[in-house]
Every structure is written in C-alpha cells, then in structure tokens.
Structure 1
Amino acid sequence: MRHLLDEHTFSVLEFSKIKKQVKENMNTATGELIAETIKPKTDLEQILIAQRETTEMREIILYEGTPPFTRLEDISNEIKKSAVKGAILDTIKVLKILKVLKTLRLIKKFLLKTEKKYPLIKERAEKIETFTELEEKITQCIGEDGIILDRASPDLKKIRREIIKEEQTIKNKLETIIRSSQFSTIIQEPIITIRQNRYVIPIKQERRIKFPGIVHDKSDSGATLFVEPIEIVELNNTLRQLIKDEEREILIILQKLTALIGEKAPEINDSVLILGKIDFIYARAVLANNMKAVEPKLNQNGFVNLIQARHPLLKNSVVPINIRLGKDFDILLITGPNTGGKTVTLKTVGILTLMAQCGLHIPAAEGSEIAVFKKIFCDIGDEQSIEQNLSTFSSHMKYIVQILSWTDSNSLILLDELGAGTDPTEGAALGMAVLDFLRKKKSKVIATTHHDTLKTYAYLTEGVNNARVEFDEKTLKPTFQISIGLPGKSCAFIIARSLGLAPEVILRAQSFLSQEKIKADSLIEKIEQDKKLIEKEKDLIKITREESFEIKDRLKKELNKTEEDKNEIILRAYQEAEKILKETQNRAEKIIEKMNKKRTINTPSKDYLLKEMQVINQEIKDEIVKIKPPVCVQPACRANGAGRRTGREEELIKNQNIRIGDYVLIKNLNKKGIVLSIESEKCKVQVDNMKMLVPVLNIEKIDMPYETTKNIIKKKNTITKELINRDNLYLTKMKTFKNNIFLRRFRVEEARLILEKYLDDAYLLGVSPVYVIHGKGKGILREEVKKLLDRTPNIKSFRSGDASEGGMGVTVVYFKN
C-alpha cells in the first residue's frame, strides 16, 4: 500500500533530508526526537495551527529576538531513576537536570513577556511548569564545577573544618621533622607529599632503618622511599575517618536532592515535552528563514497553485517553477527533453506538500496554495529490483497496481515516465488507460512521459492538460521553466546533433518518422509561435493600460491643481481688498485725529464727516463682497464646518448677507459683537471678552462702530507681530529639531525629564514619527520609556523598531494629528 505515511513516499521524495535540516536547528534532545518522528497531518485545522505557530515564531525571532535556548541533553533516564526510592544521582547528572530546569524558566519568561499577537506560542509557554525552589536547592548544594558546597548541610561544613584542622596539624608535625637536623641526612628531599591517601615524606633508601615509620611507596629507581612517620600515623587515621564521614554526608545530600527531583518527575517530564515541541517550532521557523519560505494557503478542494516554487534540497541558483493543478484540470501531463526538469518538478510538488502538512513553510512566493491530501503516491525513478527478479517495467507496474487499488479523490499521484520500459505503442496504451482510471476516481495526478499518443490524449480529454519543460534550441540547454497548455518535444535530433552525431545519420533518422509525427511537431511549433505572439500582445496591452492609468492620474492632479490655483487667486483678491479697506480706514482716522488737534471742525461737521466715512466704508465692503470667495475657500470656514446650513436659517443668513467678520446685534441681550464662525443653526459671536453660540434667528447685521474698528486694527497689528515672532521661532526650531533622541547615557530619572520635553516639542512642531534610542541592555530604560508613552495623551501609538531601525534598542513613536 502506498498511502501518506508510507516510507516509500518519504524515501523517494527524500523527506529524511528535510528532517535532518530541521534537526540541525534544534537545541533539545526531546525536540530532535519529535522532529525524527514527524508525520504529515491530514486534518486541515491541525495543519493551520502548525503553520500559524511557525509564523508566530518567525515574528518573535524578528521583533522580539532569539529565545534563550541552550543545548540540552536527554534527561529522561535521570528523571526515571530519581523516581526510584533511595536512588542517588551523582553531581554531574543533577547539574544536567538543573540546566534543563533553568532553560524551562527562561524560555517561559521570554515567551510570556512578548505581545498578545502570538497567542499559539503563548498558550504552549503557559503550560510549562517552573521549579524555582528545586533550582535554588540544587544551586545551594552544588557548585558549577560539580563540587558539593560547604553550605549544603551544617554537618558537611563541620566535617570539612575538622579535615582542614587535622591536615594542618599533620603538616605542622611533618614540617618539624623535615627541619630537624637529626633527620637532615636521612631525608631525600624536604617536601611533604601524599601516597595512598596518607601524608608521607621522602626518605633515602639506605637510611631507612634510622627513620621509624611505615613505607607506603618507593620511587621508580628505588632510591627513595615514601615513609609515614610513626608520630603521625594516628593523625592520618583520624584524617581518613573524617574524609569517609565527608563522603557519607555527600551521599546523604545527593540522596535528598534526588528525592526532591523524583517528587517532581511527572511535572518535569511534561514540561520538557512541551519545551521540545516549542524547540521544534523554533527549528521550523529558523529553517523557513534560511529558505526564505512562506506560509502557504491551504484548502481541502485538491487545488494546488505553486508560484515561484523551489525544491528545498537544491543548492546554488535554483530556477523557480509555477505549477497548478486541481481547478481547471485534475491531471497534468509533462513532456519535454531529458534533464529538462520533469522529475524535479514532480519531486518539488511532492516534497512541498509533505512540508506544508507537517507545519513547515515552503520555499515559494506569497500566494502559493497547497491542498491537504489524505494519501500521496509516488512512482519516481528506476524501481528495478534484482532481488525480486523484477525489470524496470515490471517494478513500475507493481506500484501502479497498488496505486490504482488504493487511490481516491483525496489522493495526489506523481508518476514518472508513464508507459516507459516496454513497447512504445503498448506502453502508451497502458498509460492512457491508467490516466483514464485515475480521472474517473477524481485523483490529482502529475505525470511525465515521452509518448506522443499521451500528448494527444491530454489534448482530447476533459480534465487533462499538457505541460512542457522549456528547451532553448539556440543554446541547446533546458531552461527548467514549466509552460502549461503546450506539449513538449523530446528534442532528440537537436541533442544528438549537438553531441556530434553525423548529419547524414540524423537526416536518415528523420526520414523514418511518420507523416503524422512530422505534422504533430509542425502543429506544436505553430502553436508555440502563436503563443509567443499572444504573449507579446498581452504585454503591449498591459503597457498601454498602465500608460492610460498614468495619464488619467496626471490629468486628475492637474485639474485639482487648477481648482486650487483658482481658489488661491480669489482668496488673494479678497485679502487685497481687505487690505485696501484697512488702509482707507487708517487714513480716515489720521485725518480726523489731525482735525481734532487743530480743532477746525465743529461737532455737527464732525458727525457729518463720520457718517460720510461710514458710507464710504460700506461701499468698499460691498465691493469686497462681490469678489469674496465661497465659504469653503476660506480657512476659517473649513475649520468651523460652514456649508451645512439648511432651511430658514440659510434663508435668513442669505437675506442679511451675514458673513464671518461682520458685526451683529444680539436682539434678546441688546449686545453687539463680531461673527467668528457660522454653524448649521447658530453663529459663534465674540461679545467683549466672551464667545457665545447665538441662534441665527436672534441676530441682526449692523455696521461696524468707528471705535471698534480702531481697536480691532490695533489689536490685529499686535497679533500680527506676535504671529511673526512665533513663526520665526517655529522655523528656527524646525531647522535644528531631529526626529531621534539618544537616552542611553542618562539615568532613568534624567531620561524621563529629557524625553517629556522632547515629546512636547515634537508634538508642537508636528514631527511624526520620532525614534527614541534607549539601547537594549537589561530593558530597564526601555520599560520606563514605554510607561511614559502610555500616560502621554498626545501619543497615538508606539512600537519597537524593526531590524533596520535598531530592533529592541529603539522605540518608534507616532503622534495624534
């Protein structure tokens, strides 16, 4: 049986090499075991989850950094042993377990601090159990070098102090003997050494009889004996007993640690398994990054659409292929010359399907889509078996028989050189029969062949399509591109000629071809020429369409600019008219002021003159109204939402000719004011130092009082000077302002004050985004920056920088409009 989990499919498609690449990126022994036993899934929901997990891990690596994995050995045997009552693990094995416990804690902490957009990875991380108390207990008892520490127990500490004291007593006594003149001629060398775990001194062999003690060793030459003086025998005995007490206490400590580990054995095993699964996801993500792979779209409809797909095991420059299946046709028949890439195409489709169903991203372009198949069958390569006495044809037939008995509509079948290895006519007939059977079963099939009869079958049969591998007849080399819709030529004569076969032999061979074969080749050649012509026409149409869009956009921009220019001209004309009005009013005021000083005008004449001036002002204002731009042209109008009036209010404003800047009387208050803005039903009016919204029905337009005009002119002059000063300050700041700020050299308190001032300036100057450079370090300053940004009202959003912007060492800040 050749179904999805069949080892033959894995072997032919070389899936073990993909697993090897995954394992090369793993850190845990458990993860490697998971990768080794991976099998493609057939449940769409499970595959989607696995694919999304790979994507989330790739995003974590890109935006959050690499998880703190370290190389972890298998601790399953140690954990199993620890659960046995009275078992003792040595320090090396305990430290191996400690390393795993630390990694569990660090990985969980790292993954849980990431943002909420990684829910699947976080869900796995939350299931990891940490063992802080057990870590602390092991660390308290065992040093990094594997030595049991004095603090492991009070008894151990006491014993070791006694050992040190006893050793010092022994050394003092031996020093006394060495320095004694009595033994100066007996001692070979004035040093203290150890033999058989007992302190001794080197004695000359010929003087042995004059030095009482126990001989424990001698030199290779025999000239030196290592003797334990009789005076320190008891001291050495005491020391040996203390050392045994130390060893016994160490065993007690290790037994207790082993028991503590054994109590947590089930939880440790579960957490290590979860860590292995996360490590497997991490390895898939790293492999995807190395392959520049993408998350494929998935479906259960048997539709395959691979865009710029590359075989993951091919190195150097790989020519990507485009291939589709399962929508317009269920069977694709690929033809073309040998070494043109037909078999590689079959293997690419097969291996990418297996990868996708294992949760691996595929080396292809965005938008590539793969179907989830329940079964995958492969009959690729030379299946000749000497052991079973099967020829190539017989071996192929054996597999095809099994395929036909097990295939269904959820099957993907890859057949290489269909109908080969036997009589061409009979082989082609068998090939057509096999394809017809699979077509009725609605299986999805990609097959390769050299038989012309099968090409004709593909042309004439619904649901079957031809494809070919391209061959450049000028360079006599395959291009490895796939063209769907056309059959390929074997190019045997062209290749033979390039290899040096005599022309007369080639001509003679061509004469043996049937007329049907020649006509078929000529037809294919004409179809190719027509296709190239159509492709050129399509390219021309595409270019023309793009040019038409460009012209349309350009005309639209020019029209908008013309409208803007028109509005700008009207606005400038109105502003010029207002300027004339103000200058006329100023001149009139100066004349009156001059006449007042000279007192040449009596009061009645003065009143008459004022009336005349008001008439002149009104005439000028009427002239301005004629050229005044529409409400929507003026900035004040746009800012205050004019243009939404309806009904009686619209009619009233129109009849009174009320506009922004006119003076009005508020009827119910008998107060005068100036119109600041016109809403749908109300006007905003400035009355003395107050601004109020007044219904349109409650206002009446009046002429501007002389004194008010004078005060407004003075006030406007003052405001104009302030605006000029403010604009100068703004321009100066904009020239020197930078869109990034460095905080790395400052303490947290200093950085907070500097950043607050910087953010205020950036907001007021309208600079967005800005880049806050705080460095990576331990993340303290970064967290403080995030806290400040969270409570700053003018901030729209912020994020960590991407790889090109500085990664975790930079925070990018966006302001509200």
Structure 2
Amino acid sequence: MTLADARTLEALDFAAVRERVVAATRTNRGTSYARELVPGTDFEAIRREQRRTEAVRSLVAGADFRVMPAIETAPLTEAAQLGRTLAPPDLRAVGDAIAAAAAAHRAVHEHDDLSEVVRSYASLRELGRGILDAIDERGSVLDRASPALGRIRRSLAQAQADARDRLGSMLSSAKYAKAIQDRIVTIRNGRFVIPIKAEFAGSVPSIVHDTSSSGQTLFVEPLAALEANNRVRTLQIEEEREVARILEAFSREVGTHAVQIDANVEMLAQIDLLAAKAELAVRGECIVPELCDESLLAIERGRHPLLGERAVPQSLQVDETTRLLVVSGPNMGGKTVALKMAGLFVVMAYCGMQLPASDVRVGRFERVIADIGDEQSLVENASTFSAHLARTREMLDGANARTLVIVDEIGGGTEPSAGAALAIAMLERLLERGTRAVVSTHSVELKLFAHATPSVANASVRFDPNTFAPTFELDVGTPGQSLAFPLATRMGIDAQIVARAHSLLEGRERDYEAALAELALRSSELRDERTRLEAERRDASGELQRLKRDRDALETERRRFATRAEERLQQGLRDFVRELGGRKVTRSQTKLLDATIAAMRRDLGIGAEPAAPSQATSFHPGDRVRILSLNQDGVVAEDWDDRLLVSIGSMKAMVERSDVARIGAVEKRPQRSAPAAQARMSAAQRSSAELDVRGKRYSEAEPLVERWIDDALLAGNSPLRLIHGKGTGMLGRGLQEYLRANSAVKSFRYGTEEEGSTGVTLIELKT
C-alpha cells in the first residue's frame, strides 16, 4: 500500500526528486529500483530504511565508499543456466557485477543496520577474479586466460612473423620488382598477401585472394608463402577453439552460480539505492527526520529540496494542538512552495530519504493527498472548479486522524463567498475527523475562521513592508494581508483609481485589511528587535564563555603552581630535617618554623588537603605517626591537648591533632628526658641496611626506598644495599634517578659481579 496516489505525487513534484535519486545510482538494477521509488505505509519498515540510509551516509560522507557500476545480470545468468555460451563482453559484465557486490559487501557488512541487506550475500571470489583476469574491459580474452591459450598465441605470433618475413623478402627481390604494385604485406581472408600489378599475374606463382576496385591490383598469396600461411591459419583455428573452451567453461560456472550471482547483485542494487539517497543527503546537508507515532508534521527551517541554494528556510507545524494551518498572503510569496515542501517532506521521509532542514518530526500517516494547481479536462468538459470538487470528494472519503491533506487555493475557482463557505465547511469536516491539513487561501472569511476556531492557525508569507517584495519566509500565527492596492500604486496605476477601489471595499473588510497592515508592520519590527536581541545574547554568551575559559585556565595554572610549590616545600622540609641531624631544637624554634610554614602556604595559595580523621582518639608519647601536610613520619613526644609535639629525627615540631595519623602500634613510651635518643632507637629497630623491592613497580618502590633511607639516617646506617633486580632495568634506573635527586645520598653505584651486578645498588649516605 502506498502513502500517496499518483496525482498527489505529481502535484508535489515528487518525480523531480525521484529523478535525482535515479541520477545518483550506478547499477542498472539500482536505477530501476529508484525509478519505482514510492512512499509506503509500513512505519517500522520506514524506520529501518532511515537507519540504513544513515548507515550508508556515514560511509559516503567519508569519501571512502562508492558503489561500482554494474549492469543487469539476470538475462545473462538465465542464458547461462540454459547452457548458452556468453560472449566475452557479457562475461566481463558478470565479473564486474560480482566484483562490485564484493566491494560493497566489504564496505558495509560490519554495520548492524545493514545486516539484513547483506544477509543473502555469499562470496564468489574465485569466479569473479577468474573472469576479470581472463577478459579485459574491452571484452578481449587475454593470453593469461589459460596456459594453452598463451602458448598458442606465442606460436601464432611467431608464425605470423615468419609469413611476413617470407613475403617481405619477395617484395625486396629484383626478380619480382616489375610485378609489385606496392611494397606492403597485407591480409585478405585471414591470409598474408602482397599486391601485384594485374598484367603480371602469370609471372608470380600465387593464389589470388582479392582485387582492387579498379581491377589494376591483385592481392595474391605467393606459393612460396603457402606453408607459412597454412601454419598461421592452423594456429588461428587452435586459438579460436581454446577461446571457445574458456568461454564455455566460464559460462557453465555462471550458470551454476546464477542464483547466488542474482542474490549478490540484488544486495548491490539495494546498497546502490541507499547510497544514492545518502549522496543526496550529504549534498543537500540533510538530517535524519525523527519519526513519531503521533499524527504530526513539524518542520524547523526546512528548505524545499528542489530549490537548492535558492531555497528560503520555512518553519511550520500541524499536530494535535494545531490540526489545520491556513496559509495566506500575496501571490508569488512562497505559499505554494511551503505547501509542496510540507507534502514532499512526508513523502521523502516515507521513502527512507533524509530532509534538508534544521529539525523535522514526521508522524505516522496512512495517507497523504494533495490538490495543487489547475486540473482541467477538455475531453470530459470539466472546469477547474469541477476538478477541485472531484478532488475534494476524494479527500473527504476516508479522511481520518492519520491523513494529511494539502490544498492550494482552497475554495478557489468559483464565486469568492461561495467558495469560502464551501472551504470552511470542508475544513470543519476535516476537524471533526482529526485530519491534519495545510491549505492556502486569499479569502478573508477563511482567515477569520482560522483566527476564531480552536485547533486552526493562521500563517502568512512575509514581505518587505517598504518594497512589498516577498521574503518567502513563513509567519505562523499571523494571517496574510492583500497587497493589491500598494502593488497597484507601485506599478503606476492612477492614484484616483486606487482610492476609488479602496472606497468600494466594505467597511468590515477595509478595517480588517488595515488591521492586518498594522499587524504586519508591528510583526516586522518585533522580528527585527528579536533578531537584534538574539545577536546581543549570542555575543554576551560568547563573551561569558570566553571569560569562563580564561578563569578555568587561570585556576588550572594556579593549581599547577600550587602543586609544584607544595612539592618543593615538602622536599625542602625533608632536606631540612635531614640536615638538622642531631642538632638540638628548642620549642620556640619549632613554633617559629610552624609559623613560617603556615605563612608560606598562605602566600602561595596552598590549602592543606583535608585531613583524614585520625584513627586514634588520643596519642601517647612514643606513638608512630605521619604528619599529613608534610608527608613525613615522626614520633609523638608530648600531647598538648589540641596539638602534639612530634619528633622528626632530632627536630621537634608542634602540629595540629587533625594533621596527624597514627601509622604504627604504640611503642614503649620513652623517658621524657631523652626523646631524641628514644626516636633514634625506634628508627634503629625499624631500619635495615638492605631493602628488596624486586617485583614492584617504580610507583610502589619509590616510597618504600624513601622511608628506608629516612630510617637509615635516624639509625645512622650506611652504606645501604638496595636490591631491585635486573629485569628490563627500568626499575633500577628509575630508583637511581630518585637517589640522584635525594640530598641525603652522598653516592651510589651498581654492585660488582660478586655484590649482585646491575641487580643491586649500593648507597652511601651523608653523615
């Protein structure tokens, strides 16, 4: 079942759209399918076709896919099935079709939306390659078609050369100089001959094969060349037989695989049709229409597909809220273009084609029927009005909520008031049935009907209020006004005539037209203001986005700087701790250091990372803790309620409780009189002169090595032995780079063969 009848498709100029699809196809069968393209009503099939078109478009848009030309192979495969031998050009055409189908399958088979299209495909690679290797594009059977043919043709070439040489020697012989007409070797009846003068026929022992038109020249085969010519002819017969054998063999193969060849060409034709639609979509900057279950048509900035760059974008919508749209305005203003675009968009969408618009929603329709233009029949003596009435009857018959009606100049062709009344009655019937319709009119009564009736809306084509030239844009919600009087004045009609005509209008109609003119002027001013405000909004939005980008860039740079500063500060603190060694640090010096660090953090904009809640509710002297802000381990010396005095090596620091986390079991509490000595003892207990990090990644090994060196410093262990293994050498090299940057390391080296070679690094610390 088709969506639209032939008269509707003709009224919408769908044939011109279809011809563009035809022109974009490259296979004979694909072209046939394009010529038969009509909109169906199976909504799921339409959705599937839209997905397929989009899938192929992704290939076409990338310029890496193009359907190869192919003729219709069905007559050839049928002939081969009947046992007929195909001519070389026909076999070549079959081979080209096989290759084209294979190329198309390679390009699209991975797309899920095309799986049904390629399901019937099966590779005929050997047959296709065999034909293309044996027969060239001109339909000539090549020497490589078979080993025997190659040998025969080489022998034939040699035999022909021998025959030419034999005749050439006769042409240059003084014995036959007087008899020779021209010193050329030519061919007659497939045999090499020479031209001699007719009067010397008896002087040259030969066989006559032809004469010139004048009879003065004989083309003869000298008996001396008879054997050579016989050899040539024998080889030519062998060549013909071998070529015939090759063609028969290929024809049998084509007949055997006829069904699969046809299936592959069918797949190719479907892809060809999809590619043609996709190519038009790319060329026309089209979009995939949104297919909805409701009965609606919503077009945002749609462009008539046949107008190309001349098309002015138009927007319109018919749905449950606005079932009928009444378009009015002056002639040549774009009303008919808008109506045809609306109908074409539905028809094209239902043919699986994409649409030139910013956004399109197309609902589920069972029927589209259009009445556009004059349809007179001189044979049936039917007037324009009668033709419109007949079409109106067809529209009303069976119209329902799944019908889209498009009528140009509804109620036209008869006395205006009667035509308007008939049009209103027709629209009321369509409203009762829930039908969607887009109609055009000049009638004031219809404009008033649209204004006063729920679910009906006015629309008008815009025009320049100064020049009265149409802009071809559509204003939904505003009825169009007549420009008869302004245009008459502009065209030079006498002002008194125009004034008299104006006075003849009824008061109600005159007031209506005046109100429309005022409304049109105000609408134009509002559009200009809206355009200006929209431009300002875009400019402001762009400036806001730029400021946000600048702010984000500055924030990113600040964080990057703060991170680097934090890293340097922590490294400096670690170096400071190591350099203090066994020096005695007073409480006042510790407080001064805390204040200095806090001031540096504030100046650099470094906020301390949120501290994880301490796992301990209380701390005791001797507890091993980590100072979070410094990433440094230490031992609690004293608990001062909200702050802790922590020993870091032989330095003591006053830190907030929230900045401390316990990292080990509570150690035996040291005597308050010797906290530094106790800390060294704890470090000595933890420290070892050897650390094995084999099997670890660098990110895992580096913090272990750092802590190991810190403990060794506190315990006074040096030298140290770091075991990292050989492996790829990356772990060892990475750790040595770390050691090179560590200010506590005096020197390091790989071990000797006895010490472990490159799998071990020996380290000496500064004392």
TM-score normalised per structure 1: 0.71
Please tell me whether the aligned partners of residues 577 and 624 of structure 1 are also in contact (alpha carbons under 8 angstroms): no
1:44 alignment counterpart: 43
For 1:566 and 1:353, the matched residues in 2 are separated by 55
Letter of the 1:323 counterpart? L
Q: Residues 394, 703 of structure 1: CA spacing in aligned structure 2 closer, same or farther, 3 A cutoff?
A: farther
* 2:484 is the alignment partner of 1:514: no
The one of 79, 82, 85 equivalent to 1:81 is 79
For 1:621 and 1:232, the matched residues in 2 are separated by 120
For 1:583 and 1:99, the matched residues in 2 are separated by 82
* 2:589 is the alignment partner of 1:617: yes
Deviations 1:739-782 (A, max 9, x none): xxxxxxxxxxxxxxxxxxxxxxxxxxxxxxxxxxxxxxxxxxxx
1:790 alignment counterpart: none
For 1:245 and 1:555, the matched residues in 2 are separated by 85
1:645-660 matched pairs, under 5 angstroms: 645=613, 648-649=616-617, 660=629
Please tell me whether the aligned partners of residues 407 and 439 of structure 2 are also in contact (alpha carbons under 8 angstroms): yes
Please tell me whether the aligned partners of residues 376 and 413 of structure 1 are also in contact (alpha carbons under 8 angstroms): yes
1:21-420 matched pairs, under 5 angstroms: 21-63=20-62, 65-85=63-83, 87-112=84-109, 118-121=111-114, 124-125=117-118, 127-153=120-146, 156-157=149-150, 159-160=152-153, 163-164=156-157, 166-167=159-160, 170-171=163-164, 173-175=166-168, 177-178=170-171, 180-233=173-226, 236-237=229-230, 239-365=232-358, 367-420=359-412
2:465 alignment counterpart: 473
For 1:568 and 1:26, the matched residues in 2 are separated by 61
Q: CA deviation at 1:8?
A: 0.7
Matched residue of 1:128: which SS?
A: coil
For 1:567 and 1:341, the matched residues in 2 are separated by 60
Matched residue of 1:227: which SS?
A: strand
Q: CA deviation at 1:17?
A: 0.9
For 2:545 and 2:188, the matched residues in 1 are separated by 100
Q: CA deviation at 1:246?
A: 2.9
Q: Residues 573, 394 of structure 1: CA spacing in aligned structure 2 closer, same or farther, 3 A cutoff?
A: closer
Q: CA deviation at 1:38?
A: 1.1
For 2:161 and 2:463, the matched residues in 1 are separated by 90
Letter of the 1:251 counterpart? A
Please tell me whether the aligned partners of residues 304 and 356 of structure 2 are also in contact (alpha carbons under 8 angstroms): yes
Q: Residues 651, 443 of structure 1: CA spacing in aligned structure 2 closer, same or farther, 3 A cutoff?
A: farther
1:664 alignment counterpart: 634
Please tell me whether the aligned partners of residues 68 and 103 of structure 1 are also in contact (alpha carbons under 8 angstroms): no
For 2:172 and 2:560, the matched residues in 1 are separated by 114
For 1:650 and 1:53, the matched residues in 2 are separated by 70
For 1:479 and 1:492, the matched residues in 2 are separated by 17
Letter of the 1:505 counterpart? I
The one of 485, 495, 501 equivalent to 1:493 is 485
Deviations 1:9-45 (A, max 9, x none): 1111111111111122221111111111112132332
Q: Residues 562, 438 of structure 1: CA spacing in aligned structure 2 closer, same or farther, 3 A cutoff?
A: closer
Matched residue of 1:74: which SS?
A: coil
Q: Residues 443, 696 of structure 1: CA spacing in aligned structure 2 closer, same or farther, 3 A cutoff?
A: farther
Letter of the 2:105 counterpart? K
Letter of the 1:83 counterpart? Q
2:706 alignment counterpart: none
1:634-645 matched pairs, under 5 angstroms: 634=606, 638=609, 642-645=610-613
Please tell me whether the aligned partners of residues 156 and 235 of structure 2 are also in contact (alpha carbons under 8 angstroms): yes
For 1:652 and 1:56, the matched residues in 2 are separated by 71
For 2:2 and 2:158, the matched residues in 1 are separated by 75
Please tell me whether the aligned partners of residues 581 and 617 of structure 1 are also in contact (alpha carbons under 8 angstroms): no
Q: Which moved more, 1:450-459 or 1:544-553?
A: 544-553
Q: CA deviation at 1:563?
A: 14
Q: CA deviation at 1:408?
A: 1.5
Q: Which moved more, 1:240-249 or 1:335-344?
A: 240-249
Q: Residues 699, 496 of structure 1: CA spacing in aligned structure 2 closer, same or farther, 3 A cutoff?
A: farther
Q: CA deviation at 1:534?
A: 6.6
Deviations 1:686-710 (A, max 9, x none): xxxxxxx5369999999778999xx
Deviations 1:61-117 (A, max 9, x none): 344x331433322222212211112x11111111111222222222323345xxx6x
Root mean square deviation, CA, Å: 4.7
Please tell me whether the aligned partners of residues 98 and 264 of structure 2 are also in contact (alpha carbons under 8 angstroms): no
Please tell me whether the aligned partners of residues 682 and 694 of structure 1 are also in contact (alpha carbons under 8 angstroms): no
Matched residue of 1:406: which SS?
A: coil
Letter of the 1:93 counterpart? D
Matched residue of 2:207: which SS?
A: strand
Matched residue of 2:220: which SS?
A: strand
Matched residue of 2:331: which SS?
A: coil
Deviations 1:377-423 (A, max 9, x none): 11111122222211111111110011111321111100111111111
For 1:89 and 1:617, the matched residues in 2 are separated by 106
For 2:132 and 2:592, the matched residues in 1 are separated by 94
Deviations 1:536-588 (A, max 9, x none): 8878987689979989998999999999999999x9999999999999998x9
TM-score normalised per structure 2: 0.75
Q: CA deviation at 1:258?
A: 0.5
For 2:598 and 2:123, the matched residues in 1 are separated by 82
For 1:93 and 1:576, the matched residues in 2 are separated by 84
Gaps in structure 1 of 5+ consecutive residues: 590-606, 686-692, 712-817
For 2:577 and 2:98, the matched residues in 1 are separated by 89
Q: Residues 278, 673 of structure 1: CA spacing in aligned structure 2 closer, same or farther, 3 A cutoff?
A: farther
Please tell me whether the aligned partners of residues 44 and 299 of structure 1 are also in contact (alpha carbons under 8 angstroms): no
For 1:364 and 1:140, the matched residues in 2 are separated by 48
For 1:345 and 1:574, the matched residues in 2 are separated by 68
Letter of the 1:645 counterpart? P
Please tell me whether the aligned partners of residues 581 and 621 of structure 1 are also in contact (alpha carbons under 8 angstroms): no
Letter of the 2:634 counterpart? V
Matched residue of 1:99: which SS?
A: helix
For 1:657 and 1:253, the matched residues in 2 are separated by 89
Gaps in structure 2 of 5+ consecutive residues: 638-645, 684-767
For 1:39 and 1:646, the matched residues in 2 are separated by 76
For 1:361 and 1:566, the matched residues in 2 are separated by 49
1:757 alignment counterpart: none
Please tell me whether the aligned partners of residues 57 and 278 of structure 2 are also in contact (alpha carbons under 8 angstroms): yes
For 2:606 and 2:593, the matched residues in 1 are separated by 17
For 1:191 and 1:559, the matched residues in 2 are separated by 90
For 1:210 and 1:551, the matched residues in 2 are separated by 107
Letter of the 1:88 counterpart? T
Letter of the 1:80 counterpart? E
Q: CA deviation at 1:374?
A: 1.3
Please tell me whether the aligned partners of residues 649 and 696 of structure 1 are also in contact (alpha carbons under 8 angstroms): no
For 2:93 and 2:565, the matched residues in 1 are separated by 82
